[in-house]
Amino acid sequence: MERKVMWLGLATAGIFVLSGCATVNKKDDLSNQALRNKISALETQLSEKDNEINSLKEAAVKTEQPAAPEGNGGNIGEVKQHIDAKMIQTALKNAGYYQGEITGKMGSKTRQAVRDFQKANKLHADGRVGKKTWALLKEYLDKKVK
């Protein structure tokens, strides 16, 4: 009889232990699901913000002010094309006016190369890449002359 009571006690204790583990697992599952829902909501917000940033970038390009006109005859109403320093250096290098590394920075060597290009093409040699300079220089982006 004593053995039966002991076995019954052990069985009862085992049931309580196992039911406690199931409760902990259910709580963990609920907690994990809540975290997954938060992650999903944050990913959605991130995607919306990325779309908003891209829309703002497109709008900024469309409304960007034109470059300062070189000499006479610049049209103020035209939209400026985005020209970065790497593009300028690449075109100057392909045209044979720039010998340095393509760094993406408009340093003194790049400005001097722009002035040399402008002089050779009978433009106002100010070292700035405006509309007229870029119209001639962009032809060298994909082709090497010298």
For the chain, give me the number of helices (H) and strands (E)?
4, 0
Q: How do residues 9-20 score in pLDDT, each as one tens digit? A: 777 766 766 665
Q: How far from the centroid of its chain's Cα atoms is residue 131's Cα?
A: 26
User: pLDDT confidence of 80, banded at 50, 70, 90?
Assistant: low
Whole-Å CA distances, 47 to 40, 43, 50, 55: 11, 6, 5, 12
Q: Are residues 82 and 97 in contact, defined by beta-carbon separation less than 8 angstroms?
A: no
pLDDT at 120 over 80: yes
CA distance 146 to 144: 6
The pLDDT tens digits of the residues spanning 38-72 come to 888 888 888 888 778 877 777 776 665 444 444 44
What average pLDDT is seen over the chain? Answer: 79
Which position has the higher pLDDT, 27 or 105? 105
Q: How far apart are CA 21 and CA 25, in angstroms?
A: 6
